[in-house]
A and B are shown apart, each in its own frame.
Chain A
Amino acid sequence: MQSIDLNTKLPPHRRRLQIIMQTLCYSAVALTAMLMLVFFTTLGYRGIGAFSQTKFDIEIATVESSAKTSINNALYNLVEEPDRSTKKSLRGLITPNSFSTIDLKDPGVYTLVAHTDVDMYVKGVYNKLDNIQQQIVDAAIESGNIYRTWNWSFWTNSDSRSPEIAGIWGAAVGTFYTIGLAILLAFPIGVGCATYMEEFPKRQNKVFRWFDDFMEVNINNLAAVPSIVYGLLGLALFINFFGMPRSASLVGGLTLAILTLPTIVISSRTALRTVPQSVRDASNGLGASRLQTTIYQILPAAMPGIITGTIIGIARAIGESAPLLMIGMVAFILTAPTGITDPATTLPVQIYLWADSPERGFAEKTSAAIFVLLMILVVLNLLAIWLRKRFEIKW
């Protein structure tokens, strides 16, 4: 009998296959990881500028009755005997919004927000300043009258035509109302539907049986319907049929509720299934009815999983923009909404609007807003993971 040959190596083509397969697979993941890296760093350096704002300290020598005149005079003082075109250039150094936001009392030095062109020049993005403006600005940078500070208005202001003072607050409040309403509706209905599908006994009647089977298929299909279709449903049903106000977070919330519902149902069903049969046996054995067992033992035991799934659902809903475009939440919102019937927008829609804007100053704001959105999602996902680890019942 021949002994087993343990020494001959694999023939080259077999060895090659091993190597090729392994290389391909690792490269695929590496390539994907690299793409993600490019993605995030691009966002990073494009958006970092938005977190600072260029300010201009000017000396207001005389306080006139109108803020606009006072400020303009102060600007004219920067140049000796300015002519008309010079005055125009000087007026373009600060944000138009200053006129309404400044609180003029006594003569002195006031800090104003610089115009977006100045802001972009200082940040090195582009230079659209004319000669006079550039002279003044360079001199002011030297003397410390033009400088960059932390951009609070990004966080506290709503949208604006002037990118230098535009902020995400309005969109944040809108997101809060919209998503809040969506979850308030989708959570109970979703958990209710999941409980029905998992815990209620199979019905004997053929007609009802068919209905229940259909519901199974239906839920899985709804989860895969393109989100824009939900937007059209919202448009046709809530705005046209019920006549609700366009652009309101009420409609947005209702639409997103319907959109998120299948996801919550599916994840809740999974959570309910992890509760082992022994718990049901014990509860039934004590004389509880099926419903009592479900309410008192199964649902509480499955709740950590259900909540984790809901948080993931919230995270997805927050990022949705297509359906909201359909129901009109794209209006230019200058102030944060105060209720669910006020016109509103959400953060992802705000991002879309800013990305679409021809004003170059919005470019950095868009990236920064994306960064904020992604951070919110990261926090939500980490919360879900933490909740699962902390409260998950290990059977």
Chain B
Amino acid sequence: MFIWIGPKQRQTGLNEDLIKNFFRLCSWFTVFITFAILASLTYETIKFFMLVNPADFFFNTTWSPQTAFRADSVGSSGEFGFVPLLWGTMFITLLAILVAGPLGLLSAILTSEYLKPTQRTFVKPLLEILAGIPTVVYGFFAAIVLGPWLRDSGATLGLDVSTESALAAGLVMGIMIIPLISSITDDVIRSVPASMRDGARGLGATKAETILHIILPAALPGIVAGFIMAISRAIGETMIVVMAAGLAANMTANPLEAVTTVTVQIVTLLIGDQEFDSAKTLSAFALAFTLFVITFVLNWIAYRNYKSAINRLKH
């Protein structure tokens, strides 16, 4: 059936302008989403900063949110220092990158340099599977399998490992991030022009030398961009840490201890009964706002660098 769409001339058929406006509206909607996110987060955050001093939030090192117990008490009696949360987030992210970085990078070198095309079509999707696993499943694995296993193994070695160790959450988060790093690195390595490779090989360099001395340095800006994107993803990850990381703020450098992260706190603060305007509930929005800003900045930097890296390589 041919439904006629065109300039408004006849009685039957659909008006072209109607359709065009529909498309325009759709695209405006995406801008509206960003606006809505910013508006709702900012609004609640401002309400929070009216109850809690921003300086306290950003620089204090104690996090123990309480809400005022008596209806007439002013402000809150809780401490809302953001620093330990940031620390916990970055610590777990660091552990994740320590896992995903080498594994992702080396896998990418394999798929882009060493594998034949037919082998590539099998191995690449294998790595992509990791990206498709829902985070709640990773969380389950970290909390129910890996956490207790690390604790018990640690006990036999005489180490005191928490069930909710940063190590458990970090390791599993690392596994989740591997495909992000490997697929971006693969893209960037393949964008390195053949002329560079030919130049190196033509001088008698071995494959490994070409990779190490020529290709990786050339691909470095793009690879760094990939790492930044992975970091941003790890920072914003929720389920793995909610299920496997701890609830108490703890600024430690020991991966065997439990730490808590920004995302865990956001979830904990908002699940369950809430008085909607208490400092406790509003702090969740302040945390989310900070999270949004951090990931936004990281993503922006990473995306721009990625694009310019690919462009420079292709010319």
Instruction: State the A residues within 8 Å of B (CB).
Output: 10, 14, 17-18, 20-22, 24-29, 31-33, 35-36, 39, 42-43, 188-193, 195-197, 200, 211, 214-215, 217-222, 224-230, 232-233, 235-237, 240-241, 258, 261-262, 265, 289, 291-292, 295-296, 315-316, 318-322, 325-326, 330, 348-349, 351-352, 355-356, 363, 366-367, 370, 373-374, 377, 381
Contacts and interface: CB of A to CB of B under 8 A. Distances in A.
Contacts of A349: 136
A18 B208 contact: yes
A25 B114 contact: yes
A196 B25 CA distance: 9
Majority-rule SS of A interface residues? helix
Nearest to A195: B23
Contact of B139 (A218, A295, A355): A355
Given A25-B109, A236-B44, A366-B140, 15 more contacts: A21-B208, A29-B123, A188-B26, A189-B29, A218-B31, A220-B299, A225-B292, A228-B267, A229-B236, A236-B40, A319-B137, A326-B266, A351-B136, A355-B140, A377-B134
A351 B136 CA distance: 7
B5 A232 contact: no
A28 B186 CA distance: 14
Given A18-B207, A193-B29, A229 B271 contact: no
A219 B27 CA distance: 10
Contacts of B135: 319, 321-322
B41 interface: yes
Nearest to B284: A232
Contact of A42 (B26, B126, B145): B145
A221 B299 contact: yes
B5 A295 contact: yes
Contacts of B43: 236
B270 interface: yes
Contact of A29 (B23, B107, B141, B212): B107
B219 interface: no
A237 to B, nearest CB: 6
A43 B40 CA distance: 40
Contacts of B137: 319, 348, 351, 370, 373-374
B143 A291 contact: no
B209 A225 contact: no
Contact of A351 (B127, B132, B140): B140
Interface in B131-159: 132-137, 139-141, 143-145
Contacts of A193: 23, 26-27, 29-30
Nearest to B20: A291
B7 to A, nearest CB: 7
Contacts of A25: 106-107, 109-110, 113-114
B40 A22 contact: no
Contacts of B266: 228, 232, 326
A291 B5 contact: yes
15 contacts: A21-B208, A21-B211, A28-B106, A28-B110, A32-B107, A200-B23, A222-B34, A226-B237, A228-B238, A236-B44, A265-B30, A291-B6, A320-B134, A355-B136, A373-B137
Given A25-B106, A366-B140, A226 B236 contact: yes
A261 B284 CA distance: 25
B83 interface: no
A291 B141 CA distance: 50
Nearest to A239: B276
A349 B267 CA distance: 13
Contacts of B295: 224-226
B133 A215 contact: no
Given A18-B208, A32-B127, A325 B267 contact: yes
A21 B29 contact: no
A321 B136 contact: yes
Given A21-B211, A355-B140, A381-B132, A232 B288 contact: yes
B33 interface: yes
B310 interface: no
B200 interface: no
Nearest to B138: A39
B243 A355 contact: yes
Closest 10 CB pairs of A and B: A226-B236, A319-B134, A192-B26, A28-B106, A236-B40, A21-B208, A322-B238, A25-B110, A196-B23, A196-B27
A48 B225 CA distance: 42
B251 interface: no
B41 A232 contact: yes
Nearest to B110: A25
Contacts of A22: 114, 208
B23 A192 contact: yes
Given A28-B103, A221-B296, A363-B144, A227 B30 contact: no
B90 interface: no
A236 B296 CA distance: 20
Contacts of A326: 266-267, 270
B239 A352 contact: yes
Interface in B36-83: 36-37, 40-41, 43-44
The interface centre, meaning the residue of B134, B263, B303 with most chain A CB atoms within 10 A of its CB, is B134
Interface string B98-139: 000011011101110110000000010011011011111101
B122 to A, nearest CB: 11
Contacts of A35: 175
B299 A224 contact: yes
A322 B19 contact: no
A134 B31 CA distance: 65
Interface stretch (B161-169, B191-199, B227-235): B227-235
B134 A215 contact: no
